[in-house]
């Protein structure tokens, strides 16, 4: 009995934390189905105005275009980042040498460079190349990150070197060993890296805002940010837009939560 | 060519694309920003300033800049310690094997990390609107008589940003602590229990010291992130009222890309941010690495 009683504060604390964590999202989902007036009246039950809000939203904003820009950016970034960083992480670990260790320490320094300090020259660079408003300019700075390289390097540590030796004796080239043996066995690391990269790229705001000067190319986070800049806010419509902007990343998170957790903590193990 | 030599070269070939991209997208612009910070002028016509450190001198006299530094450090000093302590408590509660519904608690508390910064900023903006839910709720409980203008007053606007950051990032840090707790040496906890230490003493004297490296890491990451705060300032409070909730990055964006862009001066500001990140990380590493 005392044992159970002692655990009450713990459960209470967790309950409060869980409610506070979920409530803003519940509010967002419910408000997307209510009118602006309902939202201001703090109605917390689902309403019947979802379609109406949707029509107002697509009537005033080009949601389809913003969604597809976001999707293209996020998917292209993820695909390229996985290829470039996994090959590099593999290279650092499997072809380990003192020179490469030095190189890794230098690359890790890049983690400490705030984006603010590179933003203006990057903008100037892409302006000079006449690539402002291009998908290429949005994704290029996000492809190679020290974090992902480190993640793959740490994961490669547990990959048995004997297999690589055996494959070499069998006459397999280095690239085939990577593609045919390493890649399929490291699926969980790839999943973790993919989830993090996709979510970061989907939600990224500052760089796309800097480099996508023309609103025709805007992404979902830019679109919802611009709605709030208007004078009169239709809160039901705004919450629906926010819901649509959040949905892809939230769905990925809910499906692959464990991969996400392994990903953010994986590089430090 | 010998086999080892060839392998060494193959290894370099594997990592060259990634290394080149980092050099081009991180190190090169960082150097360019420094050169830029020594120049003045508008638009594309930029010349070296007289004296060279003119932009940096100007920073110290720029009251808006100093205000944004102050705002950013208020967020940092108030939010980061509270968040890390909360995350530690939550992780410790969730690490209990006898806890029921562990997966459910974990998912609920971790969930805010899935939401983009712009999205949650706009949800918080709606919740804290004058006629929004928070005011209705507090008035319903008779805790306040009239609505609070949360986003229109300095103190409350800053508070809303801090609450937003706590909401968004506590679960994220908790996951780091959970991962570390699961790798903890259980025999040390057993030993503490046999020696008669209660749960609080065990947590403070046995668990925390073993978590020190990870606490240091989360402190550095959170500091780094807070110093670069942009999305919340831009979307949640729009920096207002009158710049009193604006962050350094928000001001940097205004200087760089709005009205009359001044890239030289903005670059000097960006170097101030870079310096703060570096100095704070260095201090934290010095303090955190201290051995007893």
B103-123 pLDDT, tens digit each: 899 999 999 999 999 999 999
On whether any CB of chain B is under 8 Å from the CB of A265, the answer is: yes
pLDDT tens for chain A, residues 1 to 269 = 566 777 788 899 999 999 999 999 999 999 999 999 888 888 899 989 999 999 999 998 999 999 999 999 999 999 999 999 999 999 999 998 999 999 999 999 999 899 999 999 999 999 999 999 999 999 999 999 999 999 999 999 888 888 888 999 988 888 899 999 999 999 989 999 999 999 999 999 999 999 999 989 999 999 999 986 666 689 999 999 999 999 999 999 999 988 888 888 876 66
The pLDDT score that the predictor gives to residue B194 is 84
* 192-221 in chain A: CB under 8 A from chain B: 199, 202-203, 205-206, 209-210, 221
CB B114 within 8 Å of CB A14: no
**B291 pLDDT above the threshold of 60:** no
The pLDDT score that the predictor gives to residue A3 is 66
The pLDDT score that the predictor gives to residue B290 is 64
The pLDDT score that the predictor gives to residue B197 is 81
The pLDDT score that the predictor gives to residue A88 is 96
Q: Given an 8 Å threshold on Cβ–Cβ distance, is B116 in contact with A110?
A: no
pLDDT range class, residue B147, cuts 50, 70, 90: very high
| Nearest residue in B to A87, CA atom | B14
pLDDT range class, residue B174, cuts 50, 70, 90: very high
Q: How many CB atoms lie within 10 A of CB A99?
A: 10
CB-CB: which of A21, A117, A143 is closest to B30?
A: A117
DSSP structure string for chain B: --HHHHHHHHHHHHHHHHHHHHIIIIIHHHHHHHHHTTEE-STT--EE-SSTTHHHHHHHH-HHHHHHHHHHHHHHHHHHHHHHHHHHHHHHHHT-TT-TTHHHHHHHHHGGGGS-HHHHHHHHHHHTSTTSHHHHHHHHTTS-SS---GGGSHHHHHHHHHHHHHHHHHHHHHHHHHHHHHTS-HHHHHHHHHTT--HHHHIIIIIHHHHHHHHHHHHHHHHHHHHT--HHIIIIITT-STTTT--HHHHHHHHHHSSS--HHHHHHHHHHHHHHHHHHHHHHHHHHT---
Best probe of the B interface among A29, A93, A121, by most B CBs < 10 A, is A121
**B201 pLDDT above the threshold of 80:** yes
- The complex's ipTM works out to 0.93
On whether any CB of chain B is under 8 Å from the CB of A75, the answer is: no
Q: Given an 8 Å threshold on Cβ–Cβ distance, is A95 in contact with B14?
A: yes
Q: Compare B289 and B245 and report the one with higher pLDDT.
A: B245
The pLDDT score that the predictor gives to residue B202 is 84
Q: Which CATH number fits domain A71-226+256-266: 3.40.50.150, 1.10.3720.10, 3.30.420.40, 3.30.2270.10?
A: 1.10.3720.10
pTM, 2 dp = 0.93
Beta bridge partners of B39: B48
> How does the average pLDDT of chain B come out, rounded?
91
Q: Of the ranges A191-205, B35-49, B69-83, B238-252, which one carries the lowest mean pLDDT score? A: B35-49
Q: Given an 8 Å threshold on Cβ–Cβ distance, is A119 in contact with B136?
A: no
CB-CB: which of A40, A120, A141 is closest to B256?
A: A120
How many contacts does A have with B, using Cβ atoms within 8 A?
A: 261
Best probe of the A interface among B14, B97, B136, by most A CBs < 10 A, is B14
pLDDT range class, residue B62, cuts 50, 70, 90: very high
* 224-263 in chain A: CB under 8 A from chain B: 224-225, 228, 235, 238-239, 242, 245-246, 249-250, 252-254, 257, 260-261
The pLDDT score that the predictor gives to residue B99 is 86
* pLDDT mean over B166-186: 91
Phi, psi dihedral angles at B62 (to 5 degrees):
-85, 105
What is the least distance, in Å, from the CA of A143 to any CA of chain B? Answer: 8
CB-CB: which of A94, A97, A205 is closest to B231?
A: A205
The pLDDT score that the predictor gives to residue A229 is 62
The pLDDT score that the predictor gives to residue A160 is 87
Best probe of the B interface among A9, A20, A21, by most B CBs < 10 A, is A21
Q: From chain A, pick out residues whose CB is under 8 angstroms from the CB of B18.
A: 84-85, 87-88, 107, 144, 149
The pLDDT score that the predictor gives to residue B109 is 94
On whether any CB of chain B is under 8 Å from the CB of A1, the answer is: no
Q: What percent of chain B has pLDDT over 70?
A: 98
Q: Given an 8 Å threshold on Cβ–Cβ distance, is A20 in contact with B167?
A: yes
* pLDDT mean over B213-236: 93
The pLDDT score that the predictor gives to residue B162 is 97
CB-CB: which of A21, A144, A235 is closest to B126?
A: A235
Q: Given an 8 Å threshold on Cβ–Cβ distance, is A18 in contact with B256?
A: no
**B292 pLDDT above the threshold of 60:** no
CB-CB: which of B124, B257, B277 is closest to A114?
A: B277
**B204 pLDDT above the threshold of 80:** yes
The pLDDT score that the predictor gives to residue B187 is 83
Q: From chain A, pick out residues whose CB is under 8 angstroms from the CB of B266.
A: 120
CATH superfamily of B62-288: MetI-like (1.10.3720.10)
The pLDDT score that the predictor gives to residue A47 is 87
Alpha helices by DSSP H, A144-205: 146-156, 161-169, 174-176, 183-185, 187-203
What is the least distance, in Å, from the CA of B52 to any CA of chain A? Answer: 19
Taking alpha carbons only, the member of B212, B219, B228 closest to residue B282 is: B219
The pLDDT score that the predictor gives to residue A220 is 96
DSSP structure string for B204-239: IIIIHHHHHHHHHHHHHHHHHHHHT--HHIIIIITT
**B50 pLDDT above the threshold of 90:** no
The pLDDT score that the predictor gives to residue B66 is 96
């Amino acid at each position: 009995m005392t044992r159970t009683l002692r655990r009450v504060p713990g459960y209470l604390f967790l309950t409060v934390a869980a409610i506070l964590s979920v409530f803003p999202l519940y509010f967002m989902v419910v408000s997307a189905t209510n009118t602006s007036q309902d939202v201001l009246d703090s109605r917390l039950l689902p309403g019947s105005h979802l379609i109406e809000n949707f029509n107002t939203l697509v009537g005033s904003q080009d949601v389809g275009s913003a969604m597809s820009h976001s999707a293209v950016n996020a998917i292209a970034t993820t695909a390229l980042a996985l290829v470039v960083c996994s090959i590099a992480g593999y290279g650092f670990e499997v072809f380990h040498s003192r020179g490469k260790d030095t190189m890794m320490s230098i690359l890790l320094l890049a983690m400490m460079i705030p984006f603010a300090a590179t933003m203006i020259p990057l903008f100037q660079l892409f302006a000079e190349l006449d690539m402002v408003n291009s998908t290429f300019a949005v994704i290029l700075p996000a492809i190679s990150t020290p974090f992902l390289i480190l993640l793959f390097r740490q994961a490669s540590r547990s990959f048995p070197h004997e297999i690589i030796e055996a494959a070499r004796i069998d006459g397999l080239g280095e690239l085939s060993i990577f593609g045919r043996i390493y890649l399929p066995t490291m699926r969980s690391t790839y999943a973790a890296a993919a989830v993090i990269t996709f979510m970061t790229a989907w939600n990224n705001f500052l760089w796309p805002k800097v480099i996508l000067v023309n609103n025709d190319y805007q992404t979902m986070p830019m679109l919802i940010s611009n709605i709030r800049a208007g004078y009169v806010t239709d809160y039901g419509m705004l919450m629906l837009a926010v819901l649509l902007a959040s949905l892809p990343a939230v769905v990925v998170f809910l499906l692959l939560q464990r991969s996400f957790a392994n990903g953010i903590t994986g590089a430090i193990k | 060519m010998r086999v080892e030599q060839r392998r060494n070269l193959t290894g370099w070939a594997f990592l060259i694309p990634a290394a080149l991209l980092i050099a081009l997208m991180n190190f090169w612009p960082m150097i360019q920003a420094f050169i830029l910070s020594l120049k003045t002028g508008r638009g594309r016509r930029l010349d070296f300033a007289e004296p060279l450190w003119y932009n940096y001198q100007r920073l110290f006299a720029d009251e808006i800049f100093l205000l944004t530094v102050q705002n950013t450090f208020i967020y940092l000093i108030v939010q980061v310690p509270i968040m890390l302590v909360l995350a530690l408590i939550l992780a410790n509660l969730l690490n209990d094997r006898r806890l029921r519904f562990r997966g459910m608690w974990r998912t609920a508390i971790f969930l805010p990390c899935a939401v983009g910064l712009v999205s949650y900023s706009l949800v918080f903006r709606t919740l804290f609107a004058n006629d929004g839910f928070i005011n209705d709720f507090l008035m319903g409980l008779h805790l306040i008589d009239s609505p609070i203008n949360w986003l229109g007053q300095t103190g409350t606007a800053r508070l809303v940003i801090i609450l937003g950051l706590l909401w968004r990032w506590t679960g994220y840090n908790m996951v780091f602590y959970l991962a570390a707790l699961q790798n903890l040496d259980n025999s040390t906890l057993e030993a503490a229990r046999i020696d008669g230490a209660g749960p609080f003493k065990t947590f403070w004297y046995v668990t925390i010291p073993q978590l020190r490296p990870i606490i240091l890491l989360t402190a550095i990451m959170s500091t780094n992130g807070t110093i670069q705060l942009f999305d919340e300032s831009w979307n949640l409070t729009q920096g207002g009222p009158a710049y009193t909730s604006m962050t350094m990055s928000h001001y940097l964006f205004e200087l760089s890309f709005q009205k009359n862009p001044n890239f030289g001066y903005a670059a000097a500001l960006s170097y101030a941010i870079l310096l703060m990140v570096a100095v704070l990380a260095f201090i934290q590493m010095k303090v955190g690495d201290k051995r007893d």
